[in-house]
Structure 1
Amino acid sequence: MSERVDLTSDHRSLEDAHETRRYFDKFGRIITHLTQVAENATSNKIALDTELPTVKDYLTALSATFTALSYKYLLAGRVSNLLPSILNIDRQDSGFPIYQELLQMASDATQAERRLKSLPSMKQLKQDMVHHILTENTVPIEQQFAASQLHYYNLLRSDRIFWAHNDPRAVWQGDMSENRRSYHIHWAVYDSQQNIPVIYLLDVEDTGRHALLKDERRWPRVQAHLMAQSSASMKLVTIARGFDQDFDDLHPKRLRRIFVGPMYSHAFTEQSGPLRDVLAQSSTVPELDWALAWTAETLVASRSERQSAGFFSTVERQIYQLDPLGTLGGFETDGLTEQQRSLILPQRPYQILKERNPPGFDHIRKYVVSPSGRVLSYR
């Protein structure tokens, strides 16, 4: 009999309300800097200008997700009889909440309307809190919990949440010719293996009889296909070629995948290598005890060719530009055209990292957050 693997061994439960708040405060600060990182990447020609609004939207949604979870677990450890669970994070590989947290949030969203009807209004809760304090002379825990859940379920009704699965959307970019249209398709997932958000951006040309977004047959199939292939372990060239083979009149020209994470923190995660010592030395100031990886992978079609599709017809297929050695900048890039690896961190950890100058960081771009909140880019 094969040995069973404990998939929860890398999980950490935040059982204390104060610890949970510190965790969400840290992530709140990190996410506020990510928009500047995306803008910086665009200005440095690392990313396309057309991608920036889409990436910003997903980062805004990710911020809303963390805000919602912070309300859900606001009183963790203080209302164990009311709150059925506590927040679990991946301490080893991501630093983010585990995938099951987002699945549960999606389930909670289906019950949001019913739960909101069962909760008092915020005005009533505030009155109840005042009455409890004056009459009982104790902290109104139950009323505070009800208020936190009211905020939580109200946020879940928003369409700006980053869910475990964020279905593909397409934006028409224009007509390239009479029978050829250009679309920008984007979607995102919270990867179940790595426990981090992953954003996908696809530029595709459409030569179908009907425009893609008006085609009730093709567009649902495209959405289902892309979501089914959204695994962080799958190579971009595998995703693109599979799409190219399954849709003869859709031609994937450029596919990009952005990994938002992992997040490293001496207080919340376990890491090895140089970052461990860097963050340990910075951990005396909680606001400086973090670093976030940001990795962008890109696959580009260098040309297309006609290939046989039976005895009397041909179809257009894409030929992708791949790194022949599968190693760019010392990192494995099999199945990619290029890869940009970045590390976002406060100024103090960056200074320590620069002083130590450990091997392996020369090819990683550093986005450094100054004490004023400005983000600067260094190689």
Structure 2
Amino acid sequence: MNAANDAAARYFEAIAAALEGLGVYFGDRTASPFQNHGVVAEVVAPYIGRLERSFACWQNRLGFMDKFRIQRAESGYPVFQSVLELENDRRQAEQRLAGISAPDELRAEMVDFILRHREFPADLQRSMAERLYLEEVKEGKIFSPFILPETVRVSVNPKTRRPYYLVHWGAFDGSSSLPMVYMAAVEDSSPKMLGTLVAADGKLNEKIEIGLPVGGLLNPELAHRFDEFAEKNSAYSLSPATIAGNLDKDFDTLHPKQLRRVVLGPFYTAGITENNSAVSEVLSKVRRRDNAWLLTWTVQEVYSKAERPARKGLWSSEPARDEFHIDTDDLDAARMGVSAYEQHALVPHEAYQALYAAGEAQKIFEGYDVHVISGGRVITDV
């Protein structure tokens, strides 16, 4: 195995272990005593599955493509071009598979080639690898550049008597090369939805059968516009407060009460990424390479502190608008444009021991909730 192939193998080994650990962490959040985090975990978990499938596809793609690039100095994730190529391959998979022989035919051709030429059939092997890759990318739900919104909860706010939706969507940011999950809690004052979803007693109309999850916003008249809004307003460079404010301005009858953004990264691994020299130096001393990694993520939240009532006048009118709370007492929260935020770090036990022994743990993990994975379990508050 040459140096490039060895580096790729180490990278895929490390990111697979990190995403598996992240899945364990979020799986644990759905159980007691983490009920408050259950909805977040329920939403985020499928996106972790999408990332795992994307990385499995990228690894298989190396069987017939020589190059695979990651953003070594910042996110530690694949460059955005790799995400675009994966999405393009997903869309063209059916057409390309039609031009490649079936697996049984390829195997027979490989055996025949070996018997006749007494050498390895490299071209046929690449065709087989491409076929297996296309079959997987066609079937799997990958982490696309943009993942359409989905409504997973609906209720009624007893104070306003408006329907209340929980909608989520995903985006892989092109500039930062970071995967992100968005969650929005939105009230709907559309007359049609008020009349349909809200019963006379101000509760959710039990006569209306809603098969959740629903693709898109639950309000069908606004669903397409909401998809377009989410796609245009999911850049990492936009603060959660800006996104929530844009949503409030663009939809007179939608009232965002809370917006969460979960940024799944950066990712650090020894000898591959260069995004933190102190981390890289210590991780390089970890004995098992599948334990020589560190994955961080950030949960950002902005919420409405008040709603300015709608004004109807003879000459002009103004819809209800929300006022969002920004924690100006916290410089980082103010910089992020959020009401609150959490920073988390997941690290294998062996790597944490190495960082602790080197005297780097306190400095590196300052401000982070640290989660150590050991034996398939995640230990928090170490």
Q: Same fold (TM over 0.5)?
A: yes
TM-superposed CA distance for 1:172, in Å, is: 4.3
Q: Distance in 2 between matches of 1:248 and 1:148?
A: 51
Instruction: Identify the residue that residue 253 of structure 1 maps to in structure 2.
Output: 257
Letter in 1 for 2:328: P
- Contact 1:264-1:291 at 8 Å conserved across structures: yes
Instruction: Identify the residue that residue 4 of structure 1 maps to in structure 2.
Output: none
Instruction: Identify the residue that residue 343 of structure 2 maps to in structure 1.
Output: 341
Q: Distance in 2 between matches of 1:71 and 1:168?
A: 29
Q: Identify if the C-alpha distance between structure 1 residues 173 and 140 changes in structure 2 by more than 3 Å, giving closer, same or farther.
A: same
- Contact 2:302-2:339 at 8 Å conserved across structures: yes
Corresponding residue to 2:244 among 240, 247, 250: 240
Instruction: Identify the residue that residue 218 of structure 1 maps to in structure 2.
Output: 222
Q: Identify if the C-alpha distance between structure 1 residues 319 and 47 changes in structure 2 by more than 3 Å, giving closer, same or farther.
A: same
The reply to whether residue 30 of structure 1 matches residue 18 of structure 2 is yes
Alignment of 1:187-198 (within 5 A): 187-198=169-180
Instruction: Identify the residue that residue 84 of structure 2 maps to in structure 1.
Output: 103
Letter in 1 for 2:78: P
Instruction: Identify the residue that residue 94 of structure 1 maps to in structure 2.
Output: 75
Q: Distance in 1 between matches of 2:167 and 2:263?
A: 17
Aligned Cα root-mean-square deviation (Å)? 2.6
Q: Deviations over 1:80-138 (max 9, x none)?
A: xxxxxx11111100111100111122222232111101111112222223333333332
Between the two structures, name the one with larger relative contact order (CA 8 Å, sep ≥ 6): 2
Letter in 2 for 1:351: Q
- Contact 2:30-2:39 at 8 Å conserved across structures: no
Letter in 2 for 1:344: L
Alignment of 1:11-50 (within 5 A): 16-41=4-29, 45=34, 48-50=37-39
The reply to whether residue 317 of structure 1 matches residue 298 of structure 2 is no
Between 1:245-254 and 1:313-322, the stretch displaced more is 313-322
- Contact 1:197-1:261 at 8 Å conserved across structures: yes
The reply to whether residue 291 of structure 1 matches residue 272 of structure 2 is no
Q: Distance in 1 between matches of 2:35 and 2:242?
A: 23
Instruction: Identify the residue that residue 207 of structure 1 maps to in structure 2.
Output: 189
Instruction: Identify the residue that residue 200 of structure 2 maps to in structure 1.
Output: none
Q: Distance in 1 between matches of 2:87 and 2:376?
A: 33
SS in 2 for 1:170: strand
Q: Identify if the C-alpha distance between structure 1 residues 89 and 47 changes in structure 2 by more than 3 Å, giving closer, same or farther.
A: farther
Q: Identify if the C-alpha distance between structure 1 residues 27 and 360 changes in structure 2 by more than 3 Å, giving closer, same or farther.
A: closer
Q: Deviations over 1:308-334 (max 9, x none)?
A: 466464532222222122336xx7654
SS in 1 for 2:12: helix
TM-superposed CA distance for 1:278, in Å, is: 2.2
Q: Identify if the C-alpha distance between structure 1 residues 185 and 15 changes in structure 2 by more than 3 Å, giving closer, same or farther.
A: farther
Letter in 2 for 1:306: P
Q: Deviations over 1:122-171 (max 9, x none)?
A: 12222223333333332232222112111221123236111111122223
TM-superposed CA distance for 1:241, in Å, is: 1.0
Letter in 1 for 2:319: V
Q: Identify if the C-alpha distance between structure 1 residues 308 and 156 changes in structure 2 by more than 3 Å, giving closer, same or farther.
A: same
TM-superposed CA distance for 1:347, in Å, is: 0.7
Instruction: Identify the residue that residue 280 of structure 2 maps to in structure 1.
Output: 276
Q: Distance in 2 between matches of 1:164 and 1:69?
A: 15
Corresponding residue to 1:140 among 115, 121, 132: 121
Q: Identify if the C-alpha distance between structure 1 residues 124 and 74 changes in structure 2 by more than 3 Å, giving closer, same or farther.
A: same
Q: Deviations over 1:21-61 (max 9, x none)?
A: 33222222221111112234555649631232221111111
SS in 1 for 2:265: strand
Between 1:267-276 and 1:197-206, the stretch displaced more is 267-276
- Contact 1:17-1:75 at 8 Å conserved across structures: no
Q: Distance in 1 between matches of 2:3 and 2:139?
A: 28
Letter in 1 for 2:254: L
Letter in 2 for 1:359: K
Corresponding residue to 1:182 among 160, 164, 170: 164
Letter in 2 for 1:296: V
Q: Distance in 1 between matches of 2:61 and 2:222?
A: 39
Letter in 2 for 1:21: A
Letter in 2 for 1:369: I
- Contact 2:328-2:334 at 8 Å conserved across structures: no
Q: Identify if the C-alpha distance between structure 1 residues 232 and 65 changes in structure 2 by more than 3 Å, giving closer, same or farther.
A: same
Letter in 2 for 1:32: E
* Structure 2: runs of 5+ lacking an equivalent: 194-215
Q: Identify if the C-alpha distance between structure 1 residues 46 and 138 changes in structure 2 by more than 3 Å, giving closer, same or farther.
A: farther
SS in 2 for 1:31: helix
Instruction: Identify the residue that residue 47 of structure 2 maps to in structure 1.
Output: 58
SS in 1 for 2:266: strand
Q: Identify if the C-alpha distance between structure 1 residues 214 and 196 changes in structure 2 by more than 3 Å, giving closer, same or farther.
A: closer
TM-superposed CA distance for 1:214, in Å, is: 6.4
* Paired positions, count: 354
* Structure 1: runs of 5+ lacking an equivalent: 1-13, 78-85
